[in-house]
Structure 1
Amino acid sequence: MSTTRAEAAYRRSAAAFRNPMLGLLHGRYAPFVVAVLSVVFTADRATVAVSDAHAEIAEVIDQLRGAGYDHDERRIPSGTAREICRYWVKVGWLVPQIEDDVEVYRLSAQAVGALEVAGRAGGGRTRVSQSRVRTLLESVDRLSVDADDDRDARIARLRADRDQLDAEIVRLEGGGDVEPLDEEQLLEEAENILHLARELPADFSRVAESINAMQRDVVTALRQDVRPTGEVLREYLQRGQHIMQATPEGRAFAGALRLIGEPEHIDHLADQLHTLMAKPFARLLAVEQRADLRAISRRVELGVEEVLTAQRRASHVITAQVRTHDPIRDRQVDDLLRDVMAGLQTWMQTSRPGDRIDPLRSFPVADVGHLRQSLSDIRPPGAPDKLTEVDGDAVDFLDADERSWGGPHYVELERYVAGLGDTFDLGAAFEDGPAANRRPVDLLGLLEIAHRNGMTEGDDVTIVEALRPDGTRRRFAFGSVTARTTKEQSVD
C-alpha cells in the first residue's frame, strides 16, 4: 500500500517531536526547564559540578515557589533537585561526565538548541534585513565559486574583484571620503552576527556528542571482535589517532578549526568585538544583545575546548581498551553470562511466584588445611619425633666426595689449632693448614673456633686464598685476627 504525502509528512513530524530538543520545548514544564538551564549554564560556564548544580537548582525552585509560581502544578515539577536532574539526564537534556576526577553536568546538543530557539522566540522580532539577505547571497556566490571548475571563469572573476579593490584604493588615496553605514544598517549587521552566533554552541555540542557516540561504538565493537590481537591493535589504535575524521561532524569541525583553532584568531575576534562595543551604534542594542555580542569569542573558545576535550578523552579510552583487550577473557565472560541466562530460563520454567534464590555472595575458596594465623608464637604446633638411637657402626656416612662439599671440618680444625701454640694469626694458620682444610667453609669454621676461644681484631687487612674441592680458588679479605688456642677461662 502506497503512503500518501500527508502520512509521510505526519511520520516526519512525529519523528521530529521525538527529538529531545522539541520534547523539551513541548514538555509540560518547558518554561521551568528553559529558565533553570539558562540560569545554571551560561556562556562562561559550560560545565557545572553535580553537587553545585543540585544546590543551585534547589535554590531556584525555592525562589520560584516563594514567589507563588507553584500554585499551578504544571509550572514547577515535584521532587528534589537531584531527582529532577536525574530525569533530565534520562531524557537527554543533561550529560554527566568526569572532569579532573569530578562528576559534572553539561548541556546536550539538543538542550543547547532548545535554549537558543527559546531565546530567539523571546528576544524580539525577526526581520528580513539587508545584512541577512547579503549573507545569503554571499554564501551562495561563494558556493558557486568553490563548485566551479572552469579555470578561465575563475580567473575572470578574480580579476574583476581585484579591479574593484584597486579602484576603491585609488579613490581613497585621492582624498575620497569613507562612507560609513548609518546606525540602523550597523544594527542590522550586529543582529545578523548574533543570529549566526546562536547556532555555534549547539553545533559544538553535536560534534562532541558524535565523537562520544563513535567512542562507545568502537569500544562495543572491540569487545565483540574475535580477530587476532595484533590485527585488532593496529586497526583500533589507528581509529583512536584519527578520531576527528571518523564522523561527518568531526570532519566539518576539523575544517572550521583551521579558521578559529589558533589562539591568536580567537584573540583577534575578541579585540574586534571589544572595538565594536565602543562604537555609537552599540547603544541601540538591548542589554542582552550586548552581553551576547561580548560573549561570542568566549563561546567559540569554550566550544573548541569542548570538542578537543572529547577527542582526547575518546582517544584515551579507545587506546586503553585496545591495550587491555583480551579476546579469550571476553569470550569466557560472555560464555559465563550465557550460562547464567540459560540457568535462569530453566529455573523460570519450574519456579512459582514467590520462589526465591539465595544469591552467591562470595566465590568458594580452596581448602588448604590449617594455616598459622599468628606469627607471635614461633613454636611449632607439635613436638618433633625423637631421634632413633643407633650404634656408631650402623650409621651410613656420605662418601668422601660428597663429604668434601659439606660444612666445616670442626674436628680436624680443632686438632690443627691445638698444635699452634698459645696464640696464632688466623690468616697464616689458614694458609699453612692442610689442603683438605682450606675450603671456604673451613675458613668460616676457623673463624668460629677463634671467636669461641677468644680473639683480637687488628687494623690490618688479611687476604687468604681458599681452595675448593674441584680445584678452583677464591680469595677472601678480612680484618687481621689473632686467636687463642684454647678457650679463655673467666676469673671470678
Structure 2
Amino acid sequence: MTSSRAEAAYQRSLAAFKNPTLDMLHGRYAPFVVAVLSLVFTPDRPAVSVADAHAEVGEATDLLRYLADEEADRRIPTGTARDVCRQWVRLGWLVPQIEDDVEVYRLSAHAVGALEIAGRAGSGRTRVSTSRVRSLLEAIERLADDADADPERRLARLEEQRAALDAEIASLRAGAPVEAADEEHLLEEAENVLHLARELPADFSRVAESIKAMQRDVVAELRGDVRPTGDVLREYLQRGQHVLQSTPEGRAFAGALRLIGDPERIDRLATQLHVLQTRPFAQVMDADQRAELEAVGRRLEQGVEEVLTAQRRASHVITAQVRTHDPVRDRQVDDLLRAAMAGLQAWMQESRPGDRVTPLRSFPVAGLGHLRQTLSDIHPAAGPEPLEESPADVEFDEGDQRAWGGPRYAELEEYVAGLGEEFDLATAFAGAGPDTRRPVDLLGLLEIAHRNGMTEGENISVVEAVRPDGTSRRFAFGAVTAHSVKEGTP
C-alpha cells in the first residue's frame, strides 16, 4: 500500500467525520443526543415548538442526570436546555423555522440520517435476508433492462414474463393450491419494507433543505444586486428542476409525489397495510415494528408535505423579496447595521460591567430657524400684474375643445325627456346623436339615470362609444332601466 493511497483514504475519512451525521454519532454526548432527539421528534411529530422542545429536553436531561452514575454523568451536557438546543442548531442537527406564526424545531436531514443509523445498529436485526438480496437483484435487473436498447431482447424478456404469468394463471384456474409463504419469510419481507421506509424521511429532509439553501442563495444574490433579477430567478427555476430530477433524493420525492397524487393507489396502500396487521406473521413482530409498518403511508404523506411546504415558503420569500427589493435602501440598511456594530464594538472596549446604554427614544429635530424667502431683494416680492381685458384679441376654438370636454348634460337631459317614462339605458345611448355618444356622455347618462331613479337588472349590456377623433371603445355594464323624470316629481 502506497503512502499516497493511505493519505487519500485518511483525508476522505476526515472529511466524512466532519459531516454532521457522523459528527452526531461519534461525539462525547452522542448517546444522549440520539436518545433525546428520538424521544422529542417522532414520525407523528416532525415539528416541535421551541418552548415545548426546551421543556422536554430539560426534563429528559434532569431525569438522565439523576439516574446516571459518575461515568455516565460525564456524557450528559451541562447548561440549560435552551443552550443545548442552540448548540444543536449550530452543529446542524436542528433547524429552526416559523410555522403558523410559531417558532418550531425540525430535525435536519443529517440528524434524521444519524437517528436511522443508530436505530438500525441498535435493533440487532441487521442481516442478509432473502428479501433484501432479491430487492437488489430486481433493481439490477430493472437497471439492465432500462439500459438495454435492443428491441429484440426486450421483446424476448416480455414474452418470457408473460409466459410465466400465463402458466401461473392456468395453474390456479385448474385448482392448484397456493403455496403459502412461511412466517419467517414474511417477517423478512416486512423487515425489508421497514428498512426501505426508514430511509425516506432523510431523503425528504435533504430535498427540503436543498430548497431552503436555494432560497438563501437567491435572496443573497437579489440583495447583493450583482446580477439582473431575471437572471437570478431563471437560475433558481433551473436549479429547482435539477434538484427534483438529478439527485437520488429528488427522484425519491418525485416518485412519492406521483404516489400521493394517485388516490386509488393511496387507498390500496392503506388497505394493504391494514390487512398485513391482521396476518399471523405480524403477531411475531414487536409493537414498535407493527406501529412503524402501519405508519408507512403516513410517513410518505408527511415527507411530501414537508417538501411542498419548503417549496411554498421559498416561493413566498423570493416573491416578497422581488416585490420589495430596493438596492439603495438595502445598502443604507447594511451601512447602518455596520455602523451600529462598529459602535457597539468600540463601546464594549471602553465600558465596564454594569454600564448601561441610554436608548434613543426619538430622533433629534433639526433647528432650522428662519429661512429667507428671497435671494437678493429683502423686500417681499410684488404681486402679479392684473390681467388685461381685451375680448377682441381672444381666439377660442369652441368646437374642438368642447368635444373633448365633459358630458353634455343639457343635450342629454333634453334627449332623455323625450324617451318616455322608462327606457333601457344601453338602447338610449345607442340611439343618441353622434355628438352625445362619447365615453364621457355614457357617464353623464348614467348620472342622469341615477338622479331620476333607475333599476339594475341581471343581464349585461354592451355599448359602443365614439371619441371625437373617430375611434370607438366598447363598454359593458349591468343592464339599467332608467326613468326620464325623477321619481316622486309630478
**TM-score (ref. length: structure 1):** 0.67
Which residue of structure 2 aligns with residue 184 of structure 1? 184
RMSD: 3.3
Find the aligned partners of 1:44 and 1:221 in 2 and give their Cα distance.
37
For the 8 Å contact 2:221–2:227, the answer to whether it is kept is no
Please state how far the C-alpha of 1:37 moved relative to its aligned partner.
0.6
SS of 1:96's partner is strand
Identify which of structures 1 and 2 has the higher relative contact order when contacts are C-alpha pairs closer than 8 Å and 6+ apart.
1
Cα distance 1:213–1:69, how it changes in 2: closer, same or farther (>3 A)? farther
For the 8 Å contact 1:69–1:75, the answer to whether it is kept is no
Which residue of structure 2 aligns with residue 245 of structure 1? 241
Letter in 2 for 1:293: L
Cα distance 1:180–1:114, how it changes in 2: closer, same or farther (>3 A)? same
Cα distance 1:254–1:197, how it changes in 2: closer, same or farther (>3 A)? closer
Find the aligned partners of 2:46 and 2:240 in 1 and give their Cα distance.
21
For the 8 Å contact 1:243–1:311, the answer to whether it is kept is no
Please state how far the C-alpha of 1:195 moved relative to its aligned partner.
1.2
SS of 1:44's partner is coil
Find the aligned partners of 2:141 and 2:129 in 1 and give their Cα distance.
18
- Structure 2, unmatched stretches of 5+, are 371-385, 390-490
Which residue of structure 2 aligns with residue 259 of structure 1? 258
Please state how far the C-alpha of 1:121 moved relative to its aligned partner.
0.8
Which residue of structure 2 aligns with residue 54 of structure 1? 54
Which residue of structure 1 aligns with residue 136 of structure 2? 136
Please state how far the C-alpha of 1:21 moved relative to its aligned partner.
1.1
SS of 1:22's partner is helix
Find the aligned partners of 1:179 and 1:297 in 2 and give their Cα distance.
29
SS of 2:48's partner is strand
Which residue of structure 2 aligns with residue 17 of structure 1? 17
Letter in 1 for 2:128: V
Which residue of structure 2 aligns with residue 214 of structure 1? 214
**Which deviations, in whole Å up to 9, do the C-alpha atoms of 1:137-170 show, x marking residues without a partner?**
0000001111111122212211111111111111
Letter in 2 for 1:135: S
Cα distance 1:92–1:238, how it changes in 2: closer, same or farther (>3 A)? same
Residues 395-474 of structure 1 aligned to structure 2 (within 5 Å): none
Please state how far the C-alpha of 1:296 moved relative to its aligned partner.
1.3
Which residue of structure 1 aligns with residue 78 of structure 2? 78
Which residue of structure 1 aligns with residue 32 of structure 2? 32
Find the aligned partners of 2:72 and 2:168 in 1 and give their Cα distance.
64
Q: 2:110 matched to 1:110?
A: yes
Residues 31-430 of structure 1 aligned to structure 2 (within 5 Å): 31-69=31-69, 72-227=72-227, 232=229, 234-238=230-234, 244-247=240-243, 248-249=246-247, 251-253=250-252, 255-262=254-261, 264=263, 265-331=265-331, 354=350, 361=360, 364-368=364-368
Deviates more, 1:217-226 or 1:191-200: 217-226
For the 8 Å contact 1:207–1:253, the answer to whether it is kept is no
Cα distance 1:322–1:8, how it changes in 2: closer, same or farther (>3 A)? same
Letter in 1 for 2:31: P
Please state how far the C-alpha of 1:354 moved relative to its aligned partner.
4.5
Find the aligned partners of 2:337 and 2:68 in 1 and give their Cα distance.
54
For the 8 Å contact 1:240–1:319, the answer to whether it is kept is no
Q: Which of 1 and 2 has greater Rg?
A: 1
Find the aligned partners of 1:227 and 1:18 in 2 and give their Cα distance.
33
Which residue of structure 2 aligns with residue 422 of structure 1? none
Cα distance 1:254–1:47, how it changes in 2: closer, same or farther (>3 A)? closer
Find the aligned partners of 2:50 and 2:337 in 1 and give their Cα distance.
34
For the 8 Å contact 2:204–2:306, the answer to whether it is kept is yes
Find the aligned partners of 2:70 and 2:290 in 1 and give their Cα distance.
33
SS of 2:95's partner is strand
**Which deviations, in whole Å up to 9, do the C-alpha atoms of 1:437-489 show, x marking residues without a partner?**
xxxxxxxxxxxxxxxxxxxxxxxxxxxxxxxxxxxxxxxxxxxxxxxxxxxxx
Find the aligned partners of 1:243 and 1:275 in 2 and give their Cα distance.
42
SS of 1:78's partner is coil
Deviates more, 1:283-292 or 1:238-247: 238-247
Cα distance 1:399–1:207, how it changes in 2: closer, same or farther (>3 A)? closer
Deviates more, 1:67-76 or 1:306-315: 67-76
For the 8 Å contact 1:211–1:243, the answer to whether it is kept is no
Please state how far the C-alpha of 1:13 moved relative to its aligned partner.
0.5
For the 8 Å contact 1:41–1:48, the answer to whether it is kept is yes
Please state how far the C-alpha of 1:338 moved relative to its aligned partner.
8.0
SS of 2:123's partner is coil
**Which deviations, in whole Å up to 9, do the C-alpha atoms of 1:237-273 show, x marking residues without a partner?**
4556666414244742453135323262334322211
Cα distance 1:70–1:87, how it changes in 2: closer, same or farther (>3 A)? farther
Find the aligned partners of 1:399 and 1:111 in 2 and give their Cα distance.
85
Which residue of structure 2 aligns with residue 6 of structure 1? 6
Letter in 2 for 1:245: Q
Cα distance 1:108–1:117, how it changes in 2: closer, same or farther (>3 A)? same
Find the aligned partners of 1:368 and 1:280 in 2 and give their Cα distance.
91
Please state how far the C-alpha of 1:194 moved relative to its aligned partner.
1.1
Count of residues paired in the alignment: 365
For the 8 Å contact 1:240–1:315, the answer to whether it is kept is no
Cα distance 1:258–1:339, how it changes in 2: closer, same or farther (>3 A)? closer
Deviates more, 1:234-243 or 1:21-30: 234-243
For the 8 Å contact 1:236–1:322, the answer to whether it is kept is no
Letter in 1 for 2:310: A
Which residue of structure 2 aligns with residue 452 of structure 1? none
For the 8 Å contact 2:214–2:236, the answer to whether it is kept is no
Find the aligned partners of 2:209 and 2:202 in 1 and give their Cα distance.
10
For the 8 Å contact 1:236–1:318, the answer to whether it is kept is no
SS of 1:122's partner is helix
Percentage of pairs with the same residue = 62
Find the aligned partners of 1:311 and 1:154 in 2 and give their Cα distance.
39
**TM-score (ref. length: structure 2):** 0.67
Cα distance 1:83–1:226, how it changes in 2: closer, same or farther (>3 A)? closer
**Which deviations, in whole Å up to 9, do the C-alpha atoms of 1:286-331 show, x marking residues without a partner?**
2221121112111111111101100111111111111222234445
Find the aligned partners of 1:100 and 1:285 in 2 and give their Cα distance.
39
**Which deviations, in whole Å up to 9, do the C-alpha atoms of 1:146-203 show, x marking residues without a partner?**
1111122212211111111111111111111111211111111111111111111111
Which residue of structure 2 aligns with residue 445 of structure 1? none
Deviates more, 1:45-54 or 1:168-177: 168-177
Letter in 2 for 1:172: L
Find the aligned partners of 1:147 and 1:26 in 2 and give their Cα distance.
40
For the 8 Å contact 1:243–1:315, the answer to whether it is kept is no
Find the aligned partners of 1:257 and 1:116 in 2 and give their Cα distance.
20
Cα distance 1:71–1:26, how it changes in 2: closer, same or farther (>3 A)? closer
